[in-house]
Each structure stands twice: as C-alpha cells, then as structure tokens.
Amino acid sequence: MESPTRKPTPSTSRLTVDAYAHGILSHDRVVLSRAITLVESLLSSDQMLSEELIQKILPHTGNSVRVGITGIPGVGKSTFIESFGKHLTSIGKKLAVLAIDPSSQRTKGSILGDKTRMDELSRDDNAFIRPTSSANALGGVAHKTREAILLCEAAGFDVIIVETVGVGQSEVSVRSMVDFFLLLLIGGAGDELQGIKKGIMEMADGVVITKADGDNKKRANQAKADYQHALHLFPPPTSGWTPKVLVSSAIEKFGLKETWEMIEDFKTFTASRGFFELQRVEQNKHWFHSSIESRIMEEIMKHKILIEKVKKAELQVEQGMVSPGAASREIVDSFIKLLTNQK
C-alpha cells in the first residue's frame, strides 16, 4: 500500500479523469489512494479535476454502511478498529478506514504517525486504511472526507469507517457524513468522559465500552448499565432507534461481532422506516449548503486586503468596539465592491 500522505501536497503527476475512474471502478487501490490525494489537494486545478472525477463515479456510490467512530486517546480506538476490522474482513466484508488527522490544524504532531497503528489490518487485502488531512481550516475537512467516502464506495468497499479523535470540532462534521455514529468509552471511576466534548454523547447511535477484560470487566459492566440508563433519559433520536451500549475486549475478542450486529440492526430498522435514505439526502443537502459557505469564504480569503480586514474586525469584535453585525457587513460590502470594481 502507498504510504499515507498527510498533507495535501500537489502531486507531480496527475492521471486523467478517465484513468482515475477506471482504476477506482476496477478496485485498484493504488489509483484509489492517488485519487484521495487528488481530492485533498488545495490546488484549484486539482479541485476541478476531482469534482469531475466525483461526478463520474457518483452512480457507483452509496452501497456501503458509513460508520463514524470516536473516542479520546487512551480509549483503545486503534486496537478496537483493528479487531473490529479483522472481524469484518473475516465475514467477507471489504473495509475502508478513513482517519481524520487533526495534526496539521493543531500542530501537536500526528496521531497517525505511529507506524505500528493497525498493523495487522493494514496488511489485510480486504482492508484499506487512509488518513485524511484536515489542513484546510475553512470547512474543507469534511468535504474532502465526504469525497474520499464516495471514492472508496466506488472502489467496492462495503463498510467505511471514519475515525476521529473525540476532542474537537470534527465529531460534528463526521456525524454529518455517516449513517451510524459509534462512541468508544472506557469503564472507569466516573471521570472517563474527561476530554470528550459536550454533545458527543447525544450524537451516538451506539456506545461501546472498551477494554472490558481482566480487572476492568466489572467496571465496564457497571459503566454499561449506567450509560444505558442515561441514554434512556435522553430524547429519542429522529431515527426512532434506541442507542445501545455494548462492552468489548480486543484481548478477549468479544463485543466485535455484537458491534457489527448492532450496526446491521440499525440499518435494517432505519431502512424499513425510510430514515436511512432520508438521513443521507439530508446530509447531502447540508453538505451542499455548507459547501457554498466555505467556498465563498475561500473566495473572500483570496484577497489580501480582505484577510486583513477580517483579522482587524475580529479583534474589534473581541474587544467589544464593533458589533459583529456591523463588522460582517463591512467585510461583505468590501468583497462585493472589490468584485464589481466600484471601489
């Protein structure tokens, strides 16, 4: 497998749209990998090319279950995904894992740098592991991961896992691009949620308590009961699905089969009520609108004079000198004037 490219650097050689599409549709994972690099590129020529590609493969997408998995570092996320992934490939599934890497945004070093991460799974012929970059701060992360999902689907993968770290903004984005959102937690002394952002709990369609082995088993089962009770107090989701809590151990190899059964149950349940498809349509509409917003911000930020104006306005807003409403009007008016040359 090609080594993961974390920053969207412009590649020296591009294929034609037809060559990308042909490669992807014939399940060539080297071409798939290069296509993901293409959609991640910030070069506008690459962006044009990748949109053409997405449009071309669009009829071959949608045939997977998209699963978001989150949990703070220490919860055993990689270990869980590796064991869970091996279970999936063992029952004949083709699995793609897209990991959202926040390193470039936070300059804290990559969570994905560790070469031993998901070692076994990465050598599995029916699995494809790929970090996707979050270099573009203007809402671009989500769009690029969405496009990567479509590419993986066209390449024949039938389960797509989108992995995220559970401490930042990215969970909300991921929630908006997957069918099923799974939260990993450790059973512990009540402070197991330190670091998980508020609101993530309620986005979950399922919770898995990890590391339920040895001395931890009792605590994990207690945590399961607690969370099941807590989730019961929550408003029922629009899907009508009641979120489930499971326990699992990667060492003792249990809870993996059950996790997949839960996801399949969810799909059957929500598909029969029309929600499964409806959620995807809603997600696409949301993607369309937020994509307009982020593209416009990109257009604004193409102008040096506007970058400076935005910075200055932000400072004045922070200091309470200018109201946010007046500040935003100045930016938008300046942008319109710049374009219409009525300076």
Q: Does 200 bind its own copies (CB under 8 A)?
A: yes
Give the span between the Cα atoms of 217 and 219, in whole angstroms.
6
Taking CB under 8 A as the criterion, the residue among 6, 117, 130, 143 binding its own copies is 143
Q: Is 45 in the site for its own copies (CB under 8 A)?
A: no
Indicate the residue among 8 and 85 with the shorter CB distance to its own copies.
Answer: 8
Closest to its own copies by CB, 42 vs 201, is 201
Question: Per rule CB under 8 A, is residue 307 in the interface with its own copies?
Answer: no
> Under the criterion CB under 8 A, does residue 230 sit at the interface with its own copies?
yes
Residue 189 lies near its own copies (rule: CB under 8 A): no
Contact stretch for its own copies (CB under 8 A) within 92-100, 116-124, 125-133, 290-298: 290-298
For its own copies, the binding residue among 1, 30, 292, 307 (CB under 8 A) is 292
Tell me which stretch binds its own copies (CB under 8 A): 19-27, 129-137, 210-218, 294-302: 294-302
When asked if residue 235 is in the footprint of its own copies (CB under 8 A), the reply is yes
Choose which of 147, 163, 171, 179 interacts with its own copies (CB under 8 A). Answer: 147
Q: Tell me the number of residues near its own copies by CB under 8 A.
A: 67
- 3, 92, 107, 190: which one contacts its own copies (CB under 8 A)? 190
| Minimum CB distance to its own copies, residue 288 (Å) | 4
Q: Is 226 in the site for its own copies (CB under 8 A)?
A: yes
Interface residues with its own copies (CB under 8 A)? 51, 54-55, 58, 62, 143, 146-147, 150, 190, 193-203, 226-227, 229-230, 232-238, 281, 284-285, 287-289, 291-293, 295-297, 299-300, 313-314, 317-318, 320-329, 331-332, 335-336, 339-341
